[in-house]
Amino acid sequence: MMLEPIQQVEAAAEGISQAVEENLEPWPQAWDDSVINGSPLFHDPSASINKDYFEDLKKYCFHRAVNRETKVKFVHTSVHGVGHSFVQSAFKAFDFVPPEAVPEQKDPDPEFPTVKYPNPEEGKGVLTLSFGLADKTTAKIVLANDPDADRLAVAEKQDSGEWRVFSGNELGALLGWWLFTSWKEKNQDHSALKDTYMLSSTVSSKILQAIALKEGFHFEETLTGFKWMGNRAKQLIDQGKNVLFAFEEAIGYMCCPFVLDKDGVSAAVISAELASFLATKNLSLSQQLKAIYVEYGYHITKASYFICHDQGTIKKLFENLRNYDGKNNYPKTCGKFEISGIRDLTTGYDDSQPDKKAVLPTSKSSQMITFTFANGGVATIRTSGTEPKIKYYSELRAPPGNSDPEQLKKELNELVSAIEEHFFQPQKYNLQPKGE
């Protein structure tokens, strides 16, 4: 007797369910550990990996004598993650006194009891205990890893007594400048510049591009995520090129290409050496950041997001942008701001290319449109791959010589407000702003 199609499906589903239930049960007999422990194939590689990692990391220590004598004090938090012991070891590898660890947060705890979100990218709320310990120990710099220690946030005590938490783009500017400056001092042969590269994701600040243009090395942008930057770095290294640095605005930094990924441990100790070196010149991180912007041009950035759980609504919002001025016509203005360029990495359209085809890889499964404005502003709107968010990233760039960052901030805020009002239309699409 043959089953009807619907019965076949039900039978298959029942079989799958039974198989799942059976596999949820523990094995009826215990492992015989002696078989494993006695095998010549069994070994723990962590010790040798640790040794090799920290030996390679030492190659990126440029001022060991400064580190030994520095008066700069550091506080570190691993935010209930795994970073504590690795950062302590990294500081020892650079001949630093290890940083003071936030005791309530230094050991792994999957409940993250002291923070609402265990993500230092969220800003000062995650760093409350760090600031308290820093004030108690007179430390000027706080270093914060996320729980898996692949990202890094840095905060600095200002003369006003306030704490400044650097954005991912700001720390990217500082680390990029530092790694290039340190490399250049060791490599006086300027012909090597033609084979030297830095990378950042397309939604990150283009400050590295400005530095590259003036200093003579190469800059490339990739799609968001270190799978793109890491793979591109590997391709360049295999071609005999020198990749100095890569970063993304979401506080991810690849300071040492022996790890082709974001690495918060190496970023933490290299940031500490940067701060210690600057202190010998009576400079703070904030002062050096300003000097970078004065020399290479201010790059003011602002990023945020709206929450939307309905995929249909998200699709309508982006299709509205693609048909803003009639069918297949992107917007020509956003409020009072004139649009000079469009790149759509969902459809593959890029009006800056002769054939109107985007150079970067495209994907129909995610939404991403970049608008270039006549005033030097750039804004990208994209969907998150992991959260119900529509994100935007904006930047206003000015050439060297424009020394009025407050005016640039004001203009960028006006541009962002126009983007939120005209492109996101939160009331129409029932979008929930960040923080609500």
Question: What tens digit of pLDDT does each residue of 69-112 get?
Answer: 999 999 999 999 999 999 999 999 999 999 999 999 999 999 99
Q: Is the dihedral of CA 125, 127, 133, 134 positive or negative?
A: negative
Strand partners, 197: 218, 243
**N-term to C-term CA, the chain:** 59
167, 196, 230 - which closes a domain: 167
The confidence band for 391, taking pLDDT boundaries of 50, 70 and 90, is very high
- Indicate whether 162 and 195 sit together in one domain: no
- Indicate whether 133 and 240 sit together in one domain: no
CATH for 153:
3.40.120.10
In this structure, are residues 396 and 377 in contact, taking their beta carbons and an 8 Å threshold?
yes
Give a yes or no: residue 199 inside a domain: yes
Instruction: Say what the pLDDT of residue 43 is.
Output: 84
In this structure, are residues 138 and 70 in contact, taking their beta carbons and an 8 Å threshold?
no
Distance CA 343, CA 351 (A): 7
Distance CA 302, CA 276 (A): 29
Long-range contacts, 346-354 (Cβ 8 Å, 24+): 346/318, 347/322
Instruction: Say what the pLDDT of residue 359 is.
Output: 94
Mean pLDDT of 389-394: 96
Structure token pair of residue 172 = 């990217």
How many domains in the chain?
3
233, 268, 296 - which closes a domain: 296
DSSP characters for 316-366?
Answer: HHHHHHHTTTSTT---SEETTEEEEEEEETTTTEETTSTTSB-SS---TTS
pLDDT at residue 23 above 80?
A: no
- Indicate whether 399 and 303 sit together in one domain: yes
- How many other CB atoms are found less than 10 A from the CB of residue 117? 12
Instruction: Say what the pLDDT of residue 300 is.
Output: 95
Host domain of residue 213: 169-296
Give a yes or no: residue 30 inside a domain: no
Give a yes or no: residue 226 inside a domain: yes
- Indicate whether 307 and 429 sit together in one domain: yes
pLDDT at residue 44 above 90?
A: no
Pairing of strands 389-397, 299-307: antiparallel
pLDDT at residue 298 above 80?
A: yes
- Indicate whether 174 and 139 sit together in one domain: no
Pick from 80, 74, 140: which is nearest to 105 by CA? 80
- Indicate whether 113 and 68 sit together in one domain: yes
* Per-residue model confidence as pLDDT tens digits over 323-337: 998 888 999 999 999
- Indicate whether 303 and 429 sit together in one domain: yes
- Indicate whether 144 and 97 sit together in one domain: yes
Q: How far is CA 284 from CA 62, 65, 143, 171, 302, in A?
A: 18, 19, 15, 13, 23
Give a yes or no: residue 120 inside a domain: yes
Q: How confident is the prediction for the chain on average, in pLDDT?
A: 92
279, 296, 313 - which closes a domain: 296
- Indicate whether 220 and 323 sit together in one domain: no
In this structure, are residues 152 and 171 in contact, taking their beta carbons and an 8 Å threshold?
yes
SS (H, E, C) 142-194: EEEECCCCCEEEEEEECCCCCEEECCHHHHHHHHHHHHHHHHHHHCCCHHHHH
Percent of the chain's residues with pLDDT above 70:
92
- Indicate whether 158 and 96 sit together in one domain: yes
